Amino acid sequence: MANLRDASDKALKLLRTLPRVQIGNLRPNPNSKKPDKRGRAQHGGDKHGAGNKGSGQRQNFMRLGYETGNQPFYLRFPYEPYYKGHHMRRQYPPLSLLQLQVLIDTNRIDISQPVDITTLCNSGLLTLKPAEMEYGFQLTDEGLDNFKAKINIEVQHASEAVIAAVERNGGVIRTAYYDPRSLHILKNPKKWFEKGIPIPQRMLPPQDAIEYYTDAKNRGYLANPEEISKERLVLAQKYGYELPKIEEDASYEMLTAAKDARQLFLGLEPGWLINLVDKTIIKAKTT
Amino acid sequence: MPNLCTRRALLHTQPACLSSFRSSKELQPLEQYPDIEVLHNPPEWKYVERLLPPTLVPAPVAKPAYPSGWQPATADGTAEGYLVARTKNHMVPVYLQTRFRGERRITVVRRIQGNIWALEQELREVVQRARNGKICATRVNELSGQIHIHGDYVDILREHLKSKGF
């Protein structure tokens, strides 16, 4: 009995919170309405656009590609795998040197600090969609002659001419790999910090990308630094410019600042938790 | 007085798939978690501030040279009697509209204030010079401050407006 009373109490409590019975939330009694008959003169009339006989009249829509007994077109020819796995391939949306120079000239990015994906996305003019297999930006050579900025930039892909254009001005360029989850965090770090989840570790590149990112010619982030400094000199001789000495530069600290291969943000280590409200950093205690 | 908020939470039966709070793990005994320290005003905070996006479009800074070809607006329109204002991104508001699969291309100059008819005369001359004296068709929308010019003359008009300081 106690259970029953509990149930009725609950039902009454529930009823109190529900809205009143009124014309706005009533519906007709079940089975009181009959579906309209579509007469010959109604709604387009006659056969209502469905044709006269057979499967058309019954609106029997065939499955896509079916040709009523013919060998379907999509099965008629042998398979030719030109684009095999194209939906799995990594994409690098282009960012030209001209665009980058415009961003610098209009004060949209601060080149007194190292430039990475976050800097570019925070300008509000560039976006990245990691969910659509976009793995970062590639720096392209449009506007190469007019590029005059001295920057420390990290992109995901760059051609030889672009590397030369950046290094001619005394800048530093590095190509680095980020896994999709890291890219998702990098494109909007503020949103990630607000979630209250610690900064994760960056993954190492997949097997088919390791060759690119360990090559000093591509200024890969996994390449030997000594080989990179040698390749800088080789490229300067190939393109015929004098390599500016960044060791004697006033902004040497900024130009040589680089993330660790497992690091997502410069200066912030994986495992830290950022509290934007209290402006605190929560770290694991080291004993 | 029953607490409506909690009641509504009880009635809420749909699983909150997208909510990180509801789908998060339950709290475990505190001993299972690592020891932490909370740092107020840490020296690393400057790296965090660098990652936060600006809330407004930053104002352009005066520089000795602008290698990209962009230049800040210098004219205020008093000499010409009209003004072509920059956009919120500090760009010259000249655009290309394409219709009918690119068959019809129309150059649109927006954000015009003041004597729009004088500007129309001037732009018409610039475009006619570019097409070797052939007459060009224009349309002026005085209310919205726009001039539409038949054909793709975006680069020519943008450079012209920039040379006048707009």
- Is B87 contained in some domain? yes
Across residues B53-74, what is the average pLDDT? 95
Q: Whole-model pTM?
A: 0.78
Q: Using pLDDT thresholds of 50, 70 and 90, give the confidence band for residue B2.
A: very low
Across residues B33-51, what is the average pLDDT? 94
> Angle at CA B72, nearest 5°, toward B68 and B76?
150
Adjacent-strand bridge partners of B147:
B109, B140
Which residue range is the domain that position A193 belongs to? Answer: 88-282
Number of domains composing chain A:
1
Give residue-wise pLDDT tens across range A117-160. 999 999 999 999 999 999 999 999 999 999 999 999 999 999 99
- Is A100 contained in some domain? yes
Please name the residue of chain A whose CA is at the shortest distance from the CA of residue B6. A17
Interface of A with B in 171-200 (CB under 8 A): 188-190, 193, 195
pLDDT at residue B16, as a whole number: 44
Provide CB contacts within 8 A for B124, sequence distance 6+: B136, B138, B149
- Is A199 contained in some domain? yes
Q: Using pLDDT thresholds of 50, 70 and 90, give the confidence band for residue B164.
A: very high
Q: SS3 sequence, chain B?
A: CCCHHHHHHHHCCCCCCCCCCCCCCCCCCHHHCCCEEEEECCCCHHHHHHHCCCCCCCCCCCCCCCCCCCCCCCCCCCCCCEEECCCCCCCCCEEEEEECCCCEEEEEECCEEECHHHHHHHHHHHHHHHCCCCCCCEEEECCCCEEEEEECCHHHHHHHHHHCCC
Contact list in A for residue B63 (CB cut-off 8 A) is 105
Contact list in B for residue A266 (CB cut-off 8 A) is 47, 50
Touching check for A254 and chain B: CB below 8 Å? Answer: no
Q: A221, A258 in Cβ contact below 8 A?
A: yes
Give residue-wise pLDDT tens across range B123-150. 999 999 999 999 999 999 999 999 999 9
Contact list in A for residue B59 (CB cut-off 8 A) is 107
- Is B22 contained in some domain? no
pLDDT at residue A108, as a whole number: 96
Adjacent-strand bridge partners of A153:
A115, A173
- Is B109 contained in some domain? yes
Please count the CA atoms within 13 angstroms of the CA of A274 that sit on its side-chain side: 24
pLDDT at residue B21, as a whole number: 64
pLDDT at residue A59, as a whole number: 81
- Is B137 contained in some domain? yes
Contact A274 B48 (CB under 8 A): yes
- Is A19 contained in some domain? no
Find, among B105, B106, B109, the residue nearest to B141 by Cα: B109
Number of domains composing chain B:
1
Which residue range is the domain that position B91 belongs to? Answer: 82-163
A286 vs A95, more confident: A95
pLDDT at residue B1, as a whole number: 42
Contact list in B for residue A281 (CB cut-off 8 A) is 38-39, 42, 44-45, 48
Adjacent-strand bridge partners of B99:
B104
- Is A33 contained in some domain? no
Please name the residue of chain B whose CA is at the shortest distance from the CA of residue A99. B68
User: What CATH number is given to the structural domain containing B125?
Assistant: 3.30.780.10
Q: ipTM value of the model?
A: 0.83
Contact list in A for residue B3 (CB cut-off 8 A) is none
Find, among A139, A158, A159, the residue nearest to A98 by Cα: A139
Find, among B37, B92, B88, B50, the residue nearest to B70 by Cα: B92
- What H or E segment, with its residue span, contains residue A142? none
Contact list in B for residue A13 (CB cut-off 8 A) is 2, 7
- Is B31 contained in some domain? no
Contact B11 A281 (CB under 8 A): no
- C-alpha span between B166 and B164 (Å, rounded): 6
A3 vs A259, more confident: A259
Touching check for A14 and chain B: CB below 8 Å? Answer: yes
Measure A153 CA to nearest chain B CA, in Å.
15
Contact list in A for residue B50 (CB cut-off 8 A) is 113, 266
Q: A147, A139 in Cβ contact below 8 A?
A: no
- Is A38 contained in some domain? no
- Is B142 contained in some domain? yes
- Is B119 contained in some domain? yes
User: What residues of chain B have any CB closer than 8 angstroms to a CB in chain A?
Assistant: 2, 4, 7-8, 11, 20, 34-42, 44-48, 50-54, 57-61, 63, 65-70, 89-90
Where do we find the tokens 């499967």?
Answer: A55
Q: Using pLDDT thresholds of 50, 70 and 90, give the confidence band for residue A162.
A: very high
pLDDT at residue A60, as a whole number: 81
pLDDT at residue A23, as a whole number: 87
A247 vs A287, more confident: A247
Residue A92 predicted with pLDDT over 50: yes
- What H or E segment, with its residue span, contains residue A158? strand A157-158
- Is A258 contained in some domain? yes
> Angle at CA B112, nearest 5°, toward B109 and B118?
95
Give residue-wise pLDDT tens across range A221-243. 999 999 999 999 999 999 999 99
pLDDT at residue A68, as a whole number: 85
Touching check for A280 and chain B: CB below 8 Å? Answer: yes
- Is B10 contained in some domain? no
- Is A76 contained in some domain? no
Weakest-pLDDT range from A65-69, A154-158, B41-45: A65-69
Task: Indicate the SS3 state at residue A183.
Answer: helix
- Is A51 contained in some domain? no
Give the single-character DSSP code of A212: H
Adjacent-strand bridge partners of B148:
B108, B139
